[in-house]
Amino acid sequence: MDRAWESYEGFYQENREQFFESPLPEDPWPERYLNTHNCVPGIKEILEYRKLLHITDLIFGRKTRPFHRPSQLTKVLSSRPTPTRST
């Protein structure tokens, strides 16, 4: 977990200008980058970790998928340049 977070922090510092800024002043997470798992391998490892998926299967009472469906926002932001991958 710590290694993945350090990778994410490095990715954030290198690509901060490409993060989405929320227009909602009350948003507790005003900056985010959609589909970070495509750019930060450690995040993808967590999302695909079998034990974690098994636990979420038990919690939700159904098979869970590690990725969300593309949203309208994803489509709008997908035209942005792809940042460099963090290691």
The two structure tokens encoding residue 55: 């636990």
- Mean pLDDT over 72-87 rounds to 54
Q: How confident is the model at residue 58 (pLDDT cuts 50, 70, 90)?
A: very high
Give CA separation, 24 vs 20, 27, 29, 57, 74, in Å.
12, 5, 10, 32, 17
pTM over 0.85: no
Taking residues 65-85, what's their average pLDDT? 57
